[in-house]
Structure 1
Amino acid sequence: MSSPFDVIVVGGGPAGSTAAYKLGLAGAKVLLIDKAAEFPREKPCGGGLSARLLERFPYVGDLFDAGEVSVNPVSRVHLESPDGTRVTYQQGDPILYLVRRWQFDEALFKRAASVCSVRLGTTIRKCEVKPTHVELETTEGEIITGPMVIGADSANSVIARHTGLRSEAAHKEYAVDMMEETDYSRLDVKDRDAIYLFLTLTETFGYGYIFPKTHHLNLGFGCKLDWYLKELRGKGAEHHAQWVETLKRQGDVTGETNRSGYKAFPIPVSGPLAKTYTDRVLLAGDAGGFVNAFTAEGIFYAMTSGALAADTALNAVRTQQYDERTLAAYEKAWRQEIGDELLHSVDIQHRLFNGSGRMDALVRKAKEDPELLHLIIGYSMGASTYEQLRNHMMRSTVPTWVWNKVKSAVGFAR
């Protein structure tokens, strides 16, 4: 079946916009579809961009320089373990660039829209792969066809589910991030030049965070979806308000929570899907499970998977080969660039977020060992590797009772 487009990209977030932008620049005819009626659109998210994201995608720095996206570069981290041990890490260069997602996503979307066709306010409810094309059905009953599709349509991806690429029970795969973004006139933080990470919710798989933006404060916490459904269903906003009160008692924040600004959203935290491609279909971003299971960071992986999906799609368009065998190159590419760290992140999540005291032991040791702290923060932000962290810990002089816990936590016994 003929189509005016070479590739259809579903989802206009960082993954989809990156893929569409790269394809469009290369001359492919692309249709970018998003369910939002317009951009900017609301997007709850911590909004932390790692320094390596700017290295991988230099044009993001241009967005900052042009004032399209306001940014707060931070070079300090306050890290707290479950037992209340707190350690502060400082470096010269920025560790993280904090942005408001509605601004960032709009800027990426505009770049994509400059080189491709766009359909806003269009929700895809069905995806069917045919021998010669892909059919997408909208909620209005319209059929949109194309030779291939890149699904970048969030953690609840229709493309992933309808092509059989995501099938496991949701509560096993997801966490829920509950947060608010409030201006400083209402809710402020003690240190606007730092991020706060609270690795304190061990029994729930969890974390708390404070991310100070240029004019707004973003804070929240995350937990596994199964625990949320069991303990917090219908009580998320109340629990969030209690979390803010805890932060106030600790002296980390001042002011009042904005209950109307409370948002909750799913995050896939079980690593990339077992398969991220099939005939005529590739998955990128949250749709493919490209989120760090330890830190819950997803923007870098979304954009990277989007760029790699575009490379594979472009080759498919040029060769007119859209079968699984051709598209398997995508999985090989993402495994080579980000696969190891994503798989390690799942393992570390399982070992540390389990109430065993391993997180306490690790943070207490880091308080005494500046290099270990440097590597922990670096690993969390993508600046150091799992191997560097592991090798340092193997060389360090750790008391036996701590060492046994720590080596187990990061998988040295395997």
Structure 2
Amino acid sequence: MSFDVVVVGAGPAGATAAYQMGLAGAKVLLLDKAKAFPREKPCGGGLSARLLQRFPYVREFLDAGEVPVNPIRRVHLESPDGTRVTHEQENDPILYLIRRWEFDAALFRRAESVCTVRTGVTIRRCEVKPTHVELETTEGEIITAPLVIGADSANSVIARHTGLRTEAAHKEYAVDMMEETTYDRLQVADRESIYLFLTLTQTFGYGYIFPKTEHLNLGFGCKLDWYLTALRGKGADHHAEWVDTLKQKGDVTGETDRGGYKAFPIPVSGPLVKTYADRVLLAGDAGGFVNAFTAEGIYYAMTSGSLAADVALKSIRSQRYDGRQLSAYQKAWQREIGDDLRHSVEIQHRLFNGSGRMDSLVRSAKSDPELLRLIIGYSMGSARYDELRSYMMRSTVPTWVWSKVRAAVGLNA
């Protein structure tokens, strides 16, 4: 059977793209290396309100109980120096917590209903030819199609073999070390809140506690270069120490499950410079679509998958698959999520640099509810970067400048 397009990777990006194209009548082949769904997927598992607005069918299956969800209205935020602030939203939830095992399976079922799916298939080679793309599996099978969407994770074979990702991994990735365990083993003090710990000052780093309906998800993330320098071969031990730290703070009780420890890469340097080539589009982690400050990926994965589907459908209808035709994808995601992702990289570089800015910002937010609302809102996708920046320029920055002036003239002595 011939296909209009092959989608490699059936996570949120790939399943969204396949579902959208299948609904539109395209002949889609969706491949995934997992042998079956649900499949194991370590992840914080937070859905933002804007995701539910953009993809109404997700809200529908959450409301129907197809995927258990814990709606969160409260956030505990802690800075590197230990300053802790709490923000609570009275009306709609700030974040909806789900297990990726269950959420991804729900998306996969929808894609499966409108396209051909094959699981247990790993792609080891991708070659773009003048008339088609040739994919080779680890079993030696050759699969061809006029167009391929690579949604095959941060370690994307499609991205590397087409030359779209060339940078050394340690410069672009973070490592998330986490566990997801049941409440009979590990409990959290407040199941109706998420906890965010902005821990590292010299490099990108954070800790988190995300309580699901029946499981507790907690972990620690850092840049890959720092991990390779400080934690190589010690990840599980570091995670256990992190859980002990949380127990000392009184945030969790119980015991870590060392057997449940997982570590996985996250791209945190923004989207790739180019996310398309002749006959190829990249979506989700494969294209670097992750917020570099919060490490949020699901919203960006699904949005990039949807936009890739739009452009792919136009290419299929016109039978044009060249880079000039597919460049519309780059323009589309830049319009919708480009500024957001670019600003997230800027914030990461400005705050995680050892300057003490993170501590100052959180201390300021402790006495300024509006600043705290905007910080949490930006982190959860409900406030825009320009709102946060504008407010900081009007409030935090003048205070900081005045303190420097006072110190310069000796008024603080």
Q: Give TM-score, length-normalised by structure 2.
A: 0.96
CA distance in 2 between counterparts of 1:103 and 1:244 reads: 25
Task: Find the residue that maps to 1:325 and give its secondary structure.
Answer: helix
Per the alignment, residue 291 of structure 2 pairs with 292
Per the alignment, residue 3 of structure 2 pairs with 5
Per the alignment, residue 218 of structure 2 pairs with 219
Q: CA deviation at 1:403?
A: 7.3
Q: Tell me the alpha carbon deviations over residues 39-98 of structure 1, each in whole angstroms, 9 at most, x when there is no partner.
A: 010000000111110001011112212222110000000000011100000002100000
CA distance in 1 between counterparts of 2:390 and 2:352 reads: 22
Is contact 1:154-1:286 (8 Å) kept? Answer: yes
Q: CA deviation at 1:202?
A: 2.0
CA distance in 2 between counterparts of 1:180 and 1:209 reads: 11
Per the alignment, residue 363 of structure 2 pairs with 364
CA distance in 2 between counterparts of 1:287 and 1:404 reads: 45
Per the alignment, residue 17 of structure 1 pairs with 15
CA change 1:165–1:185 in 2 (3 A) is: same
Per the alignment, residue 34 of structure 1 pairs with 32
Is contact 2:69-2:97 (8 Å) kept? Answer: yes
Per the alignment, residue 330 of structure 2 pairs with 331
CA change 1:161–1:96 in 2 (3 A) is: same
Q: In the alignment, is residue 277 of structure 1 matched against residue 292 of structure 2?
A: no
Task: Find the residue that maps to 2:30 and give its secondary structure.
Answer: strand
CA distance in 2 between counterparts of 1:249 and 1:343 reads: 37
Task: Find the residue that maps to 2:85 and give its secondary structure.
Answer: strand
Per the alignment, residue 44 of structure 2 pairs with 46
Is contact 1:174-1:225 (8 Å) kept? Answer: yes
Task: Find the residue that maps to 1:292 and give its secondary structure.
Answer: coil
- Please list, as runs of the form range in 1=range in 2, the aligned pairs for 1:191-270 lying within 5 A after superposition: 191-270=190-269
Is contact 2:174-2:266 (8 Å) kept? Answer: yes
CA distance in 2 between counterparts of 1:381 and 1:391 reads: 18
Q: In the alignment, is residue 91 of structure 1 matched against residue 74 of structure 2?
A: no
Is contact 2:195-2:209 (8 Å) kept? Answer: yes
Q: Tell me which of 45, 48, 62 is aligned to 2:60.
A: 62
Q: Percent identity?
A: 80
CA distance in 1 between counterparts of 2:401 and 2:33 reads: 50
Q: Tell me the alpha carbon deviations over residues 132-174 of structure 1, each in whole angstroms, 9 at most, x when there is no partner.
A: 0000000011100000000000000000000000000000000
Q: Tell me the alpha carbon deviations over residues 225-258 of structure 1, each in whole angstroms, 9 at most, x when there is no partner.
A: 0111111111100000000000000000000000
CA distance in 1 between counterparts of 2:202 and 2:29 reads: 44
CA distance in 1 between counterparts of 2:264 and 2:396 reads: 42
Counterpart AA for 1:119: R
List 4+ stretches of structure 1 deviating above 3 A.
397-405
Cα-Cα RMSD: 1.2
Structure 1 portions without partners, runs of 5+ = 406-414
Q: Tell me the alpha carbon deviations over residues 163-210 of structure 1, each in whole angstroms, 9 at most, x when there is no partner.
A: 000000000000000000011111000000000000012223100000
Is contact 2:364-2:396 (8 Å) kept? Answer: no
Task: Find the residue that maps to 2:135 and give its secondary structure.
Answer: strand
CA change 1:81–1:26 in 2 (3 A) is: same
Is contact 1:341-1:386 (8 Å) kept? Answer: yes
Per the alignment, residue 412 of structure 1 pairs with none
Counterpart AA for 2:184: S
Counterpart AA for 1:295: T
Task: Find the residue that maps to 2:166 and give its secondary structure.
Answer: coil
Q: CA deviation at 1:404?
A: 8.5
Task: Find the residue that maps to 1:219 and give its secondary structure.
Answer: strand
CA distance in 2 between counterparts of 1:31 and 1:165 reads: 22
Is contact 1:9-1:152 (8 Å) kept? Answer: yes
CA distance in 2 between counterparts of 1:347 and 1:364 reads: 21
Structure 2 portions without partners, runs of 5+ = 405-413
CA change 1:9–1:344 in 2 (3 A) is: same
Task: Find the residue that maps to 2:202 and give its secondary structure.
Answer: helix
CA distance in 2 between counterparts of 1:379 and 1:23 reads: 31
Per the alignment, residue 400 of structure 2 pairs with 401
Q: In the alignment, is residue 165 of structure 1 matched against residue 164 of structure 2?
A: yes
Task: Find the residue that maps to 1:204 and give its secondary structure.
Answer: coil
Counterpart AA for 2:224: L
CA distance in 1 between counterparts of 2:300 and 2:73 reads: 21
CA change 1:391–1:399 in 2 (3 A) is: closer
CA distance in 2 between counterparts of 1:354 and 1:296 reads: 17
Task: Find the residue that maps to 1:155 and give its secondary structure.
Answer: coil
Kindly tell me the number of residue pairs found equivalent between the two proteins.
403
Counterpart AA for 2:296: E
